[in-house]
Amino acid sequence: MEYIYISNTIDEQKFNEFFKKNKKIPGQQIQKYHRLIIDGICKNGKKITALSALPITPEISNKRIIKFKSTNLQIKFRYITCINIPIIKNIYVMLVSFLYVFMKCLIYKNVCVICDPLNLSISLGASYATSILNKKCCGIVTDLPDLIVTNINRNNNKIFKKILNNCTCYVFLTEELNTKLNTLNKPYIIIEGHCDIAMGTKNNHLIQDNRDKVCLYAGYLDERYGLKKLVDSFIKAGVEDWELHLYGDGPYSYDLKKIAETNNKIKYYGVVLNQEIIQLELEADLLVNPRPTDEEFTKYSFPSKNMEYMVSGTPVLTTKLPGMPKEYHEFVYLFEDESVHGMSETLKSVLNLPSNILKARGEKAKNFVLHKKNNVVQSKKIIDLIESQL
């Protein structure tokens, strides 16, 4: 069986080379999410080609035509030339993906497509090709298009639903996503997330000097993601010898910069590449994710950030998200009360724990996700789902 993976994923080296000098870096977490599945399928002994639409917009580059050279390594990446003009770009991507998948499926019998339905233009073309030729197409759905905080146009819901209907099976992050979207009761599995198996060779590098300890958040900066509450509760907690370091971009970044200018316990560092974030997570003393549980979108997602946090071996403090299975609870610290007062009390409690206790919780979390939730194990479930239908 040959797999074609349809998304906007770029191999890590090319991604870092292109975006390392950009202030605006597109969707690093979703890039990593799909890249790890592609890698996991390959490590399960399957032949895989990643057909990718470049996630480049006029906001990122003023070039009209952008080409990435395709790779011919164990994992083949094929990049569709980016015509960086709205509408024209989407039509071109849709046509190329349709023709590429159509010809592949026509020539080779054992071909299966895996697509990201939230990446509309490239997935629409590919899903039409598999539908016409009656080939298997697995849709990996990581969120609802009308609930994403960042910017999926709600008018595209019809396209999204058409792609879903063309799929023959699904991978969902939560059971709620399946209930909401799998209206035709097609085969599916729930995989809340995966971590990088390569992190098994990475160890914590806590800096032993006179610096303050670091509580770190990396991700999208939006009040709806609990960032204001996190900052307010950290300040309210007033724990000595700790700083809150934040990385990322979003609507809350402007306010955050102002706070950081007047409070030396709050440090804002802007956007950096994921490989740098990984190193910072290894060096931090606590990783925090304040995403609120009362927002509608939290029922349908499991933050890949939490998986990345846990596999670092650094202890994690997070909310009790409805999309997070209960089996995770014993491996992380939890905000039980999400008011500013409640969060500040939890922060005081956790930040005052002895270092050896924190370290032990972090190591326990790493062992759990590294052995049970790594990208090779989780990708095998996707392979089994698809091949069970052949």
Where do we find the tokens 């080939």? Answer: 135
Backbone torsions φ then ψ of 189, nearest 5 degrees: -135, 155
Amino acid occupying residue 99: L
In the structure encoding, which two tokens stand for residue 105, read together?
A: 């499926």
pLDDT digits (tens, 9 = 90+) for 121-136: 999 999 999 999 999 9
Strand order in the sheet with 266-268: 266-268, 242-247, 213-218, 286-289, 316-319, 333-335
**Are 2-194+374-387 and 199-372 in the same CATH fold?**
yes
pLDDT at 24: 78
Say what the pLDDT of residue 239 is: 92
Tell me how far apart the alpha carbons of residues 56 and 247 are, in angstroms, rounded to a whole number. 21
Q: What pLDDT is stored for residue 151 in this prediction? A: 45
Find how far residue 104's CA is from the centre of its chain. Answer: 29
What is the spatial distance between Cα 223 and Cα 228, in angstroms, rounded to a whole number?
A: 5
- Helix H, strand E, coil C: the string for the chain is CEEEEEECCCCHHHHHHHHCCCCCCCCHHHHHHHHHHHHHHHHCCCEEEEEEECCCCCCCCCCCEECCCCCCCCCEEEEECEECCCCHHHHHHHHHHHHHHHHHHHHCCCEEEEECCCCHHHHHHHHHHHHHCCCCEEEEECCCCCCCCCCCCHHHHHHHHHHHHHCCEEEECCHHHHHHHCCCCCCEEECCCCECHHHHHCCCCCCCCCCCEEEEEECCCCHHHCHHHHHHHHHHHCCCCEEEEEECCCCCHHHHHHHHHHCCCEEECCCCCHHHHHHHHHHCCEEEECCCCCCHHHHHCCCHHHHHHHHCCCCEEEECCCCCCHHHHHHCEEECCCCHHHHHHHHHHHHCCCHHHHHHHHHHHHHHHHHHCEHHHHHHHHHHHHHCCC
For the chain, which ranges sit under pLDDT 70? 23, 146-155, 205-210
Q: Which residues contact 375 (CB under 8 A, 6 or more apart)?
A: 36, 37, 39, 40, 43, 194, 195, 196, 197
**Identity (one letter) of the amino acid at 264?**
N
Supply angle C-alpha 267, 306, 259, rounded to 5. 20
Which CATH architecture is the domain 199-372 placed in? Answer: 3-Layer(aba) Sandwich (3.40)
Query: Strand 242-247 relative to strand 137-141: parallel, antiparallel, unpaired?
Result: unpaired
Domain ranges of the chain: 2-194+374-387, 199-372
| Res 300: pLDDT | 86
Pull the structure tokens for residue 20: 């390392």
> Which option is the CATH number for 2-194+374-387: 2.40.50.140, 3.40.50.300, 3.10.620.30, 3.40.50.2000?
3.40.50.2000
